[in-house]
Structures are given as C-alpha cells and as structure tokens.
C-alpha cells in the first residue's frame, strides 16, 4: 500500500464551509422587502364572543397593523399592551384581555416561522429591527392602499 492512498482529506469540510459561508452571506443579510398589508383578524382566536355581543376584532386589526410593520422589542411590547387595553375597553373582561395579551406575547415572537409573527410583513429573519424613515413611509403607503381598497375588511365594518 502506498502511503496516503486512504488518507482522510479536508475537502468535504472545506466544501461544506464554503456552502455555509455563501448561504450566510446571501441568506442572512437582513435586507428584505415589505409585503402589502393583510389582516386575518384575531388569527388563531375568535374575532367576537361566541356567547354574547362582545366584539374585539377591531383591536386585533390594529394589532395586526403593528405586527405587520414590525419594529423594536419596545414597539412590540407597546402593541401587545395596546391590544390588551383595547380588548378590556371593548369587553370589560379582564381575564379575556390578559389571556389575549399572554397569547400574543407567547405566540407572536419574530423567531417563530408563522404568518402572525412580529414583523410578518417582512421576510422571515428580520426579527426586531426599527424601520428606517423610508420603510416607515412605504408602510404608511401600503396601509393607505389597503384601507382604500378594503374599506370593509375583516374587522372594520363598524369604524
């Protein structure tokens, strides 16, 4: 046997490292494009009470606007607290308002790959990132377009 005939080389490791580096440089750049606004109301929760006339759907719609836009950790906390307060004012039900707050705190993380995550208007991976002035203007334009085209959308019938 000649020396080196069965020697282990680092070629597969180098190839994998190059692929991972290329993926990291292209797939994690943080650059993404805002998609037009959409809302499904209260996502995985009823939009209205099943046992009385309570309706908190508009609270979810406004919460969706904040979640679609995204932003900082503080922006998310503010949006979630606003949802809690809106539901409380709409229903007078402290338990319901708190349950919805806890639900969005648990399930709305930008690190989850779902359609209702924080910053869902952006490509997955943006996570917590303050909007630039240009991004904020774009978001405002998309929202105006949505409201003009969908004046009676999921939760706005009463507004």
In a domain, 23, yes or no: no
CA-nearest of 61, 55, 59 to 154 is 61
Residue 110 maps to a domain: yes
Query: What phi-psi label fits residue 17: left (phi over 0), alpha (psi between -120 and 50 degrees) or beta?
Result: alpha
Residue 68 lies in a domain: yes
DSSP classification of residue 132: P
Q: Which residues of the chain have pLDDT under 70?
A: 1-31, 154, 157-159
Give the number of domains in the chain. 1
Q: 20 in a domain, yes or no?
A: no
Distances (CA, A) of 68 to 30, 106, 116, 119, 147: 16, 17, 8, 5, 14
pLDDT at 157: 58
Residue 98's contacts (CB-CB under 8 Å, 6 or more residues apart) are 84
Q: CB of 71 within 8 A of CB of 119?
A: yes
Does 60 map to a domain?
yes
Domain assignment present for 6:
no
Q: Is residue 13 part of a domain?
A: no
Taking CB atoms within 8 Å and a gap of at least 24, the contacts of 21-27 are 27/125
Question: 2 lies in a domain?
Answer: no
User: What's residue 57's pLDDT?
Assistant: 94
What is the pLDDT at residue 16? 55
Q: What's the pTM value of the predicted model, to 2 decimals?
A: 0.77
Domain span including residue 44: 34-149
């Amino acid at each position: 046997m000649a020396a080196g005939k069965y020697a282990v080389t680092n070629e597969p490791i180098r190839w994998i490292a190059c692929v991972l580096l290329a993926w990291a440089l292209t797939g994690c750049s943080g650059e993404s494009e805002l998609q037009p606004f959409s809302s499904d109301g209260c996502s995985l929760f009823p939009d209205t009470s099943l046992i009385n006339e309570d309706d908190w759907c508009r609270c979810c719609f406004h919460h969706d606007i904040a979640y679609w836009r995204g932003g900082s950790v503080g922006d998310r906390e503010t949006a979630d607290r606003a949802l809690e307060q809106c539901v409380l004012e709409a229903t007078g039900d402290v338990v319901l308002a708190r349950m919805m707050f806890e639900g969005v705190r648990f399930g709305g993380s930008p690190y989850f790959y779902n359609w209702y995550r924080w910053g869902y208007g952006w490509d997955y991976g943006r996570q917590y990132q303050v909007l630039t002035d240009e991004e904020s203007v774009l978001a405002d334009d998309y929202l105006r377009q949505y409201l003009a085209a969908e004046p009676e959308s999921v939760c706005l019938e009463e507004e």
